[in-house]
Amino acid sequence: MAAIEVNSLSKTYKVHKKEEGLRGSVKALFKREYNDVEAVKGVDFNIGQGELVGFIGPNGAGKTTTLKMLSGLLVPTSGTAKVLGYTPHERDEEYLKQISLVMGQKNQLFWDLPAIETFSLNKDIYEVDEKSYREVLNNLTEMLDVGDILHQQVRKLSLGQRMKCELIASLVHTPKILFLDEPTIGLDVVVQKNLRKFIKDYNQKYNATIILTSHYMDDVKELCERVIIIDEGKLGYDGRLDELVRSYAQNKIITFVFDKEVDKADLTQYGKVTDFQQLKATIEVPRDQIKDVASRMLQELPVDDLDIAEIPIEEIIRQVFNHE
């Protein structure tokens, strides 16, 4: 049985519509008009136990709304969702003990207290026994290297340190399902890298099912073999990340460094020139021609060095969003 089963899941909001100015405000007091906004439109997918899946899309695509329905914070307008066999919006106590929702822009730590106080409170809320709590806390503290800050006031911690403590607070009950909504937002690249390693290690150590949303494509590339792309509330793609790259990236990129100047016009015969300097150039070439083109250029041009790479994942995702 899949850990998460979603069938024709939809969510529609009624949004108040008001005319401009004082006249519009007075009119709204007596007659309010509403527009229906479909945030999620008939989404279907299944996720197995232990999978780490990237859930990506542009702002307003419906990602956070979907996670809130799966965690039980929102009731679907139509369709069904089952997580570990439970219906999320019924808020069954046993269900809530097995999930966690971490939102990078929200916090649960008490600002004026040490983080350890929140951990202890969550231990009691989730009815975790003392032995299991200490064992899990020690593991998480070691994995995130935060042992020296647990007793400091949260207000005195850096953003990266607070985010690490937020994760620990959400994981003291070792949830089987973890919803991560932009967990690395606003963090510097070093902290992002450390958190990505922690998420991967946690997934493997506890066999947790994780859905990750992020605008940082490095998060997705390093953590997720499978991605679900949602745009305007609809499912755009569900499959392996490497297959997405092969399907949408028909070209590869060759970057050349020359030991003497070349003419840009001489390069157009090999492919599409996307960047050109006198001693360096970048060319897009169909992936099935890449070997032949690279070989020809090595023989015919003063090449000092070259690098062959895939189209950036950001560009591939943009193509999916734009339905290209």
Q: pLDDT at residue 246 above 80? A: no
Report which DSSP code applies to 312: P
Among 259, 250, 324, 263, which residue's Cα sits nearest to residue 298?
Answer: 259
Amino acid at 213: T
Q: pLDDT at residue 4 above 70? A: yes
Residue 212 parent element (H or E):
strand 209-213
pLDDT (mean) for 109-116: 92
- Interval 29-87: pLDDT, tens: 777 777 788 889 999 999 999 999 999 888 888 899 999 999 999 999 999 999 999 99
Q: Would you say 55 and 67 are in contact if contact means Cβ atoms under 8 Å apart?
A: yes
Amino acid at 139: N
Q: What class is the 4-245 domain? A: alpha beta
Task: Give the pLDDT of residue 192.
Answer: 85
φ, ψ for residue 319, nearest 5 deg: -65, -40
Q: pLDDT at residue 324 above 60? A: no
Q: Which pLDDT band, with edges at 50, 70 and 90, does 262 fall under? A: confident
Task: Indicate if the alpha-carbon torsion angle 110, 72, 105, 312 is positive or negative.
Answer: positive
Task: Give the pLDDT of residue 184.
Answer: 83
Give 310 or 136, the one with higher predicted confidence: 136
Task: Give the pLDDT of residue 28.
Answer: 67
Distances (CA, A) of 73 to 27, 67, 298: 33, 9, 59
- Interval 189-228: pLDDT, tens: 888 888 888 899 999 999 999 999 887 778 888 899 999 9
Percent above pLDDT 90 for the chain: 41
CATH 3.40.50.300 segments of the chain: 4-245
pLDDT (mean) for 169-196: 87
pTM above 0.85?
no
CATH 3.30.70.980 segments of the chain: 250-321
Q: Report the chain's terminal Cα–Cα distance, integer Å.
A: 35
Mean pLDDT of the chain: 87
2-6, 176-180, 266-270, 316-320: least confident range: 316-320
Distances (CA, A) of 238 to 46, 62, 260, 267: 10, 15, 46, 38
Strands of the sheet with 272-277, listed across from one edge = 272-277, 280-286, 251-258, 303-310
Q: pLDDT at residue 119 above 80? A: yes
Task: Give the pLDDT of residue 323.
Answer: 58
pLDDT (mean) for 145-166: 90
- Interval 269-318: pLDDT, tens: 888 888 888 788 888 888 888 888 888 888 888 888 888 887 777 677 77
Amino acid at 81: A
CATH code assigned to 250-321 = 3.30.70.980
